[in-house]
Amino acid sequence: MQRQAGSGDLAFLDGYLFRVMVQILKSEGVNESGLYNYYRARVEEVGFALSHYDRMLVDYVQARFDRQSRRIVHAGTGLGTLPCALAFAGYTVAALEQDAGRIRAASQVHAALADAWPAAAERYQLIGGEFPTVLGGTPWLGPKTVLIFTNCVTTWPDELNAKIMASLKTCGDVIMDTRLFGQMRDTPDERYAFVRQLEAQGIDAAPMAESPPDAFYYHLKPTLGAP
Ligand SMILES: C[S@@+](CC[C@H](N)C(=O)[O-])C[C@H]1O[C@@H](n2cnc3c(N)ncnc32)[C@H](O)[C@@H]1O
């Protein structure tokens, strides 16, 4: 049976992934590597592979969701640090990324995970393409799915935004940072309006006490099958 991944295990994984990210950045450059400024800052200014919210989410998921019966989808995964950590902790994970440079870099991170922890890498499927379209016809979205959005600000066009909002209602649980979902919501009023919009669509939205102070994570429980 898979045991809980503790902070020591995650620290070890973090050091390993950090080395991989440094190597990609130094050998390929900021833009050519697909790290862009976002992950350059993670490497050069933060000094960790796993973000503070990645770590919070691994603990949150481990405390609430069964490894055997639930599966995780991480939409807009970037370099895929969160799915690496969740697969390392024993979860079956699909991670979606639409940007070609990021997909290439996330593939390198995935390959490095496979070198060190092949069983974990087998549990983690990196899928290139736009969420949720690329999951159409797959079993990844359903009542057993825990759908996670971390920093996912890209200003989706209306049609894509409507598809993403509809996808929330197909999953048993959804976890998201309401500040960084689609568009930036920096004010309490903007986040309040968004949460009311979710509730109006039959989605229960509870703020997560574990959310870091600079984030506004919510755990959503859609009423499955609601129109
Ligand atoms: C700012 S990055 C952050 C990556 C990661 N979520 C994190 O918090 O570290 C957001 C990523 O989401 C991806 N993305 C946004 N919308 C997407 C969609 N609909 N399908 C797939 N990827 C998406 C972008 O290409 C980008 O790489």
> What does the chain come to in residues?
227
Angle at 93 between CA 30 and CA 176, to 5 degrees: 75
Q: pLDDT at position 1, please? A: 58
In short, whether 12's Cβ falls inside 6 Å of ligand 1 is no
Tell me the residue range of the domain where 20 lies. Answer: 7-222
**Alpha carbon nearest to ligand 1 atom 4, residue:** 78
Q: Give the pLDDT of the chain (227 residues) as one tens digit per residue.
A: 566 777 778 999 999 999 999 999 999 999 999 999 999 999 999 999 999 999 999 999 999 999 999 999 999 999 999 999 999 999 999 999 999 999 999 999 999 999 999 999 999 999 999 999 999 989 999 999 999 999 999 889 999 999 999 999 999 999 999 999 999 999 999 999 999 999 999 999 999 999 999 999 999 998 755 55
**Which pLDDT value is given to residue 8?**
77
Which candidate, 108, 105, 80, 117, places its Cα nearest to that of 95?
A: 80
pTM of the model: 0.96
Tokens in use for 201?
């669509």
What does the block give as tokens for 167?
Answer: 């996808």
Of all protein residues, whose CA lies closest to atom 10 belonging to ligand 1?
152
1 located within any domain: no
Q: Give the atom of ligand 1 at the shortest distance from the alpha carbon of 38.
A: 1
pLDDT of residue 41: 97
What's the CATH number where 87 sits?
3.40.50.150
- 227 lies in some domain: no
Q: Is the C-beta atom of 183 inside 6 A of ligand 1?
A: no
Structural domains counted in the chain: 1
Any domain includes 98: yes
Would you tell me how many other CB atoms lie within 10 Å of the CB of residue 87?
Answer: 24
Phi and psi dihedrals of 166, rounded to 5?
-65, -35
Quick check: 185 and 217 in contact, CB under 8 A?
no
Alpha carbon nearest to ligand 1 atom 13, residue: 76
Supply the residue whose CA is at minimum distance from atom 19 of ligand 1. 131
Q: Indicate whether 2 belongs to any domain.
A: no
**According to the model, what pLDDT value does residue 223 have?**
77
User: Which pLDDT value is given to residue 154?
Assistant: 85
Helix (H) or strand (E) holding 71: strand 71-75
